[in-house]
Amino acid sequence: MRTALLSDVDALAELINDAFQVEKVFFDRDRVNAEKVREFMRTGQFLLAEDSGGLAGCVYVEVRGDRGYVGLLSVEPLRQGTGLGRKLMDAAEDYFRAAGCRGLDLRVISPRTPLPPFYSRLGYVETGTAPFSAELQCKVPGHYIIMSKEFV
């Protein structure tokens, strides 16, 4: 695990878009581009998982006051189902604990029905919903599901 550098931007955009290919049935565009990754890097960081095959996964972390925000959990498709997503979430939680956060929040899109149970198994609970942003044109009805975890 390491923190992403600006030199990782293109590889990060490719990884995230590959991992989020499943969302192409809901949205007509890539999840991110290089400029969007740079924008994220201005407000937070990406934690990267690498192995001998290269970039295997990432997660976006951003401290927001006394809470953390996690987004874009991405695992290279051939490595999905190996436990790497859980390891990246553990690294994100460690990051926020070290930053003094009392908990963290994330959001998933409602059409991705396997995601809430995945995060529930990691100790997250649903705390609300929010409408999609106006810029996000979804092909099916949906909304964000907000999930949170408190540190004890």
Per-residue pLDDT of the chain (152 residues; tens, 9 = 90+): 999 999 999 999 999 999 988 887 787 777 889 999 999 999 999 999 998 888 999 999 999 999 999 999 999 999 998 999 999 999 999 999 999 999 999 999 999 999 999 999 999 999 999 998 777 777 888 899 999 999 97
pLDDT of 30: 79
pLDDT of 58: 98
| Residue with token string 């006051």 | 65
Exposed e or buried b per residue across 45-54, where buried means at least 16 C-beta atoms within 10 angstroms of its C-beta:
bbbbbeeeee
How far apart (Å, rounded) are the C-alpha atoms in residues 150 and 102? 6
Q: How many domains does the chain have?
A: 1
Cα–Cα distances (Å) from 40 to 5, 32, 34, 43, 69, in that order, read 12, 10, 10, 5, 12
With beta carbons less than 8 A apart as the criterion, state whether 56 and 47 touch: no
Q: Which domain holds residue 116?
A: 2-150
Tokens, residue 133? 């942003």
CATH number at residue 126: 3.40.630.30
3-state SS class at 4 = coil
